[in-house]
Chains A and B, each alone.
Chain A
Amino acid sequence: MISEDRLILYFYRDGLAEMERQEIAAALNQDQELQQRYQQLSSELQALSQVDEVPAPGYMAQQWHTAISREAQLERQKQAPVAPQRKFFIWGLAASALLCLGVVIGTLIQPLPVAQRPQQAEALPLPDSSVEEVGARSAAFMRGMQYSLSDQHLGLDQLPPSSDESYQLLLMQIIAQNRLIERAAVANKAPELARLMRAFEPLLLKMADASTSPEDVAALRRQLTFELGAMLTKLQQTSSGSVTEI
């Protein structure tokens, strides 16, 4: 059984040795079910590449540039191949974030105009929908949100210590993911989620700030984890139609 992660790597022609690539190619030739899975995955990944970019604020872009440059410099300094496990981990994290965002952005967003946010998606007229269709989309959106927030929760849990060289890069990925979730929430008329995502950004940026002490970073992480967890609880309640209205 070839895992989805390996198929993703195969699709992107990255992170697999030549022999592994050949194995997968052979399996694809022989296994029709696998072939179908791969085709489905390929179309999802291709759709992702067509997702509109969300311009990040300049200060954030500058921080990304710095983080990426630092990472690139470290890679050059090492002058040795990256340990496969670590490379796979970082790539896998990015890929899973992308996949997750693909679910949210590519499948669930119905772009709507947002005043004062010119950089966001332009409105597209929605076809007339029945109440059931709207309800189904809304339920799908909430499930997508639960998935995205769980992923972010996991990302926070798995963040290495702030002294680790990959810390900033991973944090920037979480920030980017956060912005996209905010965008999805705005487009799907889920203002409470959008507000929470906007509230997270200053905290995440403080975590990324090198001058923030490890104790403060830990406190911020606890706060984010709590608020994210609480919102997940609320979403789960909403989707399961629970009695309470908190």
Chain B
Amino acid sequence: MKLQLKCLVLILATLLATTSNAQDRSKSGHADEALKLAAIEALMMAPPDKALPVLAGVVSGSGSIELKSRALFVLSQIDNAEANAIVLQAASSAGGEMQTEAIRMIGIGGREDSIAKLAGIYQSSDKAAREAVLEAYMIADEAEAIYQIASNAQSDEEFEKAVHMLGVMGATDFIKRLESRPGATSSLVFSYAMAGDTETLLRIAGDSSNPEAQLAAINGLGIVGGAQVNETLRELYRTANDEEVREAVLKAMLISGDDMGVIELFKAATSNEEKARLLKMLVIMDSDGAMEAIDAALGGDGQ
């Protein structure tokens, strides 16, 4: 068995180290690449001490980003300090796509010591790498670390990206802790919607003291959708005095696809102007009830 594995590693190493000349590459570049990728995948089966030097060679070699990225993936699956160091090195200083891939691999690998290094990488890196760090935290389920970035954010953009990721993770407890940041409500509301936190959205949507947040929450409710939300939106439309709020509610109903609700509002509408607006919405929604409503508006003349 050991001999077989040694042979396998030797073959793979030779395969991965082989660099054909330019002419050959132009003829069989794709085939070479596919074979090398298969070789890297095969290294998942090899003992770490044998696979490591081969993978390290690929990462530091002149192969394609795709090849290096695959090697990083396999390295991230090896529970070994040396493998970890190679991935960390690439995540800290490789730059470009190689760096962002390495950062992602740290998230996938999930080693605590490597995850702890991501904060430093975040501080010293460019925008793309910072976004990759946020994604790596998401992959590793490290909401607390993202919360720290959001709470120390130096710009609105940085704050929004971090909060967005908390929303993706459904980490509403952390999002709520950020509510005290001035002007943060709108981006927080969007994250509540992504996290599906209907309760908080309903609370904000019903509060007219912060119109900007209210409109954002109504929009968020549309994204979440569902029977409870649909009923709330219909009620909000009926009771709202502010035209902007009603407009936002209609858009939210469009997003949630509540055409039955719009039909209900259409039937209850008292002015022609409002009926026309609701009818237009039904047509945009491609509702089956649109023709019925059109017929009603035409008073049967359309038949």
Contacts and interface: CB of A to CB of B under 8 A. Distances in A.
A230 B73 CA distance: 9
A20 B202 CA distance: 49
Interface residues of B, number: 50
B139 A116 contact: no
B141 A116 contact: yes
Given A196-B108, A199-B108, A116 B224 contact: no
Contacts of B225: 61, 65
B46 A226 contact: no
A58 B223 contact: yes
Interface stretch (A43-51, A149-157, A169-177, A238-246): A238-246
Interface string B15-59: 000000000000000000000010001011111100100000000
Nearest to B50: A244
A156 to B, nearest CB: 15
A245 B49 CA distance: 10
Interface in A7-35: none
B139 A195 contact: yes
Chain B: interface secondary structure? Answer: helix
B47 A116 contact: no
B44 A61 contact: no
B196 A57 contact: yes
Interface residues of A, number: 37
Contacts of A117: 141, 169-171
A96 interface: no
A195 B223 CA distance: 26
Given A195-B140, A195-B141, A198-B139, A246 B74 contact: yes
Interface of A: 55-59, 61-62, 65, 69, 73, 116-119, 191-192, 194-196, 198-199, 202, 219, 222-223, 226-227, 229-230, 233-234, 237, 242-246
Give 10 closest A-B pairs by Cβ, nearest first: A58-B223, A58-B193, A233-B44, A55-B196, A57-B194, A199-B139, A58-B194, A198-B139, A116-B143, A244-B47
Given A198-B138, A226-B70, A229-B41, 16 more contacts: A58-B223, A59-B168, A118-B172, A118-B173, A119-B196, A192-B77, A192-B110, A194-B141, A199-B139, A230-B74, A233-B41, A234-B44, A244-B5, A246-B47, A246-B74, A246-B78
Given A57-B194, A119-B170, A245 B138 contact: no
Contacts of A191: 110, 141
A202 B225 CA distance: 22
